[in-house]
Amino acid sequence: MLRVVLAEDSVLLREGLVGLLNRFGHEVVAAVGDADTLRDAVSAHAPDLVVTDVRMPPGFQDEGLRAALTLRTADPRLPVLVLSQYVQRAYAAELLDTGDGTGVGYLLKDRVGQVEQFAEAVRRVAEGGTVVDPEVVRQLLRRRRDPLEALTPREREVLGLVAEGRSNGAIARELVVSEAAVGKHIGNILGKLDLPPAQDTHRRVLAVLAYLRG
Amino acid sequence: MTRSVRYLISGVLVGAPLLVGMLLLGIVGAGLTPVLVGLPLLALLALTGVPVGALERWRLQLVHPARVPTPHRTPDEPGPAAWARLRFTEPATWRELGYALLLAVVLWPLDVVVLTVALGIPGAMIGTPAQLAIVGGEETRGVKLWLIHTYGQAFLCAAGGLALILVLRWPLVRYAHARAALTRLLLAPRQAEGQLAEVTKSRARLVAAFEAERRRIERDLHDGAQQRLVALSMRLGLARLDAPPELAARLTEAHAEADQVLVELRELIHGIHPQVLADYGLGDAIADAADRSAVPVEVDVELPRFAEPVESAAYFAVREALANVGRHSGAGRAWIQGRYEEGRLRIEVRDDGCGGADPGSGSGLTGLADRLAVLDGTLTVESPPGGPTVLTMEIPC
């Protein structure tokens, strides 16, 4: 069970999200409607996870994202899942730049409808994983060239799944290959993106970042 | 009357130095013309009317409180060169030069005459008793004309001076007003100049209103329909979890339908006004538009933030350009370059397509040029048959 602070200005959605999180056994310790209250709620409750909308009062621009970035800068280990209405590389890249890029998620709001996927993303982010919306990944796969030009279609597919925050085992199941084959692909990707061997989890995030920065 | 007097006296204070200055500039400038240094001096002489005009319009407030607007337009771009170019082509500049000459040669001496007659002579007459007292009561000349021997005569003269001031007061005020009216006639904006400025302003207002409406529609869709649809999709998702298998299948279909609508709505909202433009500015918004283009685009853009109308116009222009590349050019690649230099935003969209784009044929290019024109921007299209097409937009900002 996770203790969650939720920020979403639409009452309808906020209540829906509370219900959804409860349904999967999490406790929403605070559900707020603007960025300032979000910051207060986080310092008051010290939650396991923050879920926030991008566009929020008072300016209805990117206050929610800004608040998330501030929170992450203050405490780089605080897991934050940002829900966005837009497929936006700039938002996702800025978010992944905080901390070491682990324990963050950038999901399209539409994705909350896919309740199981959403619950899975919530769990992964809270555990320190990195989740980038498949739609953002897809758009980048379509557009980005160097240094991704060097990747084979299969390797791109694998990188996409890595960006979505999947583990090697999950990727192997998705692509119906062995886990060893996935490991080999990832090794090739990291090689082609010129990411020298270090701690393996970090390199996965760096690979995704290479992607988002274009 | 005091206002008129102040107006006339300050007129002399402007006119006399002006005469000296113009003579100096003219003589030195003409003298140095053979060695070319004189030419800029003469150009400067031609522009003396501009500051004089500004000062004279300001001085009119001494007679009449209403401000007189400037007849000049604001230059399209910063810098002295653009300023001078505009000034030399404006009729107002030459009217002001004419007025400056008139002021230096005719008006201020005339002011001196009027002031002397209406104030100087009566003033001297009023001062006669004091004058007599200073010379010790012997004899003196009143206003250098009459011999005054006694205090009786002196006081009579002073009384005459007072009467004269009262009589001459009216013509003095009339003269000052006529003088002000002449200045206004020459230095206030002509009707056409005023109208043009008004038309330009109203066009800018229309565009601003259109832009505001666009934002409002985007916000309404975002805060209303989109949120409700997300909530609906979430409910369907939850219902599916707990439904018996045969119902779950039907719920899955409904859910897929709702999600499809969400995707379309998201694209629609993005098309109306992308949030990234407001949050991150033109550079990121262009990169985003390039991401979505059907033809691969290479983006090389380094831009600061600009005012909202500039960012909007430039962004939609780039998008229209990319749409044209995708639809008509048959290009395999496109390039966008954007820079801000010397007060101009310059964006170039190039493709390797077949060319032949015609901005005059009522295509999207015309609308694009119109949008840029509101900001005094320009659009140039180079598109020879066989290609390639290069579209360049420039906005002073």
pLDDT greater at residue A116 or residue B356: A116
* Closest A-chain CA to B230: A110
* Closest A-chain CA to B273: A86
How many angstroms separate the CA of residue A197 from the nearest CA in chain B? Answer: 31
* Closest A-chain CA to B242: A23
**Which positions in chain B touch A116 (Cβ < 8 Å)?**
237, 241
What pLDDT sits at residue B2? 81
Subunit contact B291:A139, Cβ cutoff 8 A: yes
Subunit contact A12:B227, Cβ cutoff 8 A: yes
**Which positions in chain A touch B230 (Cβ < 8 Å)?**
13, 16, 109-110, 112-113
**Which positions in chain B touch A88 (Cβ < 8 Å)?**
275-276, 288
Q: How do residues B329-338 score in pLDDT, each as one tens digit?
A: 788 889 999 9
How many angstroms separate the CA of residue B261 from the nearest CA in chain A? Answer: 10
Q: How do residues B132-178 score in pLDDT, each as one tens digit?
A: 788 776 677 766 667 777 788 888 888 888 898 888 888 888 999 99
Kindly tell me if the per-residue pLDDT of B322 is higher than 60.
Answer: yes
- Residues 135-154 on A with a CB inside 8 Å of B are 139-140, 142-143, 145
**Which positions in chain B touch A12 (Cβ < 8 Å)?**
227-228, 231
Kindly tell me if the per-residue pLDDT of B124 is higher than 90.
Answer: no
Could you tell me which of A50, A57, A128 has the C-alpha nearest to residue A41?
A50
What pLDDT sits at residue B25? 87
What pLDDT sits at residue B264? 92
- Interface check for B270 against chain A (CB to CB < 8 A): the answer is yes
Q: Collect the ranges in chain A with pLDDT lower than 70.
A: 138-148, 194-203, 206, 209-214
The pTM score is 0.59
Query: What is the mean predicted confidence (pLDDT) over B180-199?
Result: 79
Q: How do residues B90-100 score in pLDDT, each as one tens digit?
A: 888 888 999 99
Q: How do residues B56-87 score in pLDDT, each as one tens digit?
A: 989 988 888 777 888 887 777 777 888 888 88
What pLDDT sits at residue B86? 83
